[in-house]
A = this chain, B = another copy of it.
Amino acid sequence: MSKKRGIAAERELLHMLWQKGFAVARVAGSGSVPEPSCDLLAGNGQAKYAIECKMSGNGRKYITKEQVESFIEFSDKFGLKPLLAFKFLRKGWFFLSPESLNKTPKGYSISLDTAKERGVKLI
């Protein structure tokens, strides 16, 4: 996925979460800074999330072990709940806890069907 499309997807999710009653911030330079990070941070006074966005094609989504570990490290250190946001083309966004992913030799993956089964609603 191009950087531009990635940012557009993050912005789309940011606006969606504002409309759902969350205060949301997009992280500068996520993926390009040495420290662990995430793409968005969102909270509604009660629930507080660190969010990693994935939007790549229509099929099964993959995420490396390193990405997941760095993301969980950031979330735990800050004190936020880690949440993966996967966008499936024409199906919208699905929110999953890292534990809901399927293990692969190089990391983790999720199919649309599994995302539908295991996805959580944010409000």
Which residue numbers of A lie inside 8 Å of B, CB to CB? 18, 22-30, 35-38, 41-46, 48, 74-80
Contact = CB atoms under 8 A, between A and B. Distances in A.
Contacts of A28: 25-29
A42 B78 contact: yes
A35 B24 contact: yes
Nearest to A74: B23
Copies of this chain present in the complex amount to 2
A38 to B, nearest CB: 7
Contacts of A25: 25, 27-28, 30, 37-38, 41, 74, 78
Contacts of A24: 35
A30 B24 CA distance: 11
